[in-house]
Amino acid sequence: MENLILDGNKVAQNVKNQLKARITNLKSKGITPCLATILVGDDPSSATYVRMKGNACGKLGMESLRIHLPKETTTEELVSKIQELNMDEKVHGILLQHPVPSHIDERAAFETIAIQKDVDGVTSLGYGQTAFGFGKYPSCTPAAIMEILDYYRIPIEGKHAVVIGRSPILGKPVSALLLNKNATVTTCHSKTSNLAEVVKLGDIVVAAVGKPKLIQGDWIKDGAVVLDAGYNEGNIGDVDYKACLEHSSAITPVPGGVGPVTISMLLKHTVAAAEETINM
């Protein structure tokens, strides 16, 4: 079977190329798109992700406002900082790096982000709007998965999509986005019976559980499209890549698949949020 490798770096570059003219146009109006990133504590992986996002902004001529709070920060202090950013007209997007220290009410912090600045799609209002089909900024990894399918012109309508994972910023929103594109969607999770048999029904399989190599090659229907949104220690996805490659018609690698596109979608949403301010 001929396999198409879904190159996330190529898709991400295409998104960024399309943003350049939009950013130039905004700057001609005195507006520089600005993403504020908040990091609480000293988790090295989170610090790396925040730095990558900031660097991506810089390469496109966007501004990145990096806020690093100590791990002792309280929920009230974090909420106060987010409220401050909500009021800052120069900030167009707000990203709170997940996870925050365990003593912080993460959901309360997420819900504080103003909907017009929720470029990472983490608020319940943003999720609800995405599910209803009119959300402007879906969660970035689900948005990345849809961008990859669109770039490679992979049909969605009428297909059976199987999503493994039901997190509020990945599994659930990507299920909603696929449903809104007229796929028939099955969402699997830790309580799903006969997971392998259910996955084998999928024309499109989205792995989003955070368990390395959970999805085995013989779980994949011949000709299925496999999108691996997992990223585990050692640059390993949720899919057994070599085994699933043999059965799939198209598959994302890890790294170099969904990840680069996720960051590009964050930039795209921030630019769109900046454009929204022109008409306010």
Dihedral of CA atoms 200, 206, 210, 216 in degrees, nearest 10, equals 30
Tell which residue, 200, 138, 189, 145, has the closest CA to residue 167: 189
Backbone phi and psi for residue 119, each to the nearest 5 degrees, phi listed first:
-75, -10
Query: Quick check: 248 and 92 in contact, CB under 8 A?
Result: no
| Nearest-10 Cα torsion for 251, 220, 140, 157 | 90
Buried b / exposed e over 164-193, threshold 16 CB at 10 Å, is: bbbbebbbbbbbbbbbbbebebbbbeeebe
Cβ neighbourhood burial of 98 (10 Å; 0-12, 13-18, 19+): middle
120 is catalytic: yes
Q: In what order do the strands lie in the sheet with 93-96?
A: 63-69, 34-40, 93-96
Dihedral over alpha carbons 277, 64, 109, 260 (to 10 degrees): 100
Catalytic residue among 53, 117, 181, 268: 53
Cis before residue 253, ω within 30 degrees of 0?
A: no
- What does the alpha-carbon distance between residue 256 and residue 49 come to, in Å, rounded to a whole number? 15
The residue with tokens 């890549």 is 241
Which one of 16, 117, 118, 120 is the catalytic residue? 120
- Residue tagged active-site, from 97, 172, 213, 228: 97
User: Shortest CA distance to 6 belongs to which of 216, 250, 214, 236?
Assistant: 250
| Separation of alpha carbons 63 and 224, rounded Å | 40
DSSP state of 31: -
Catalogue the active-site residues. 53, 97, 120
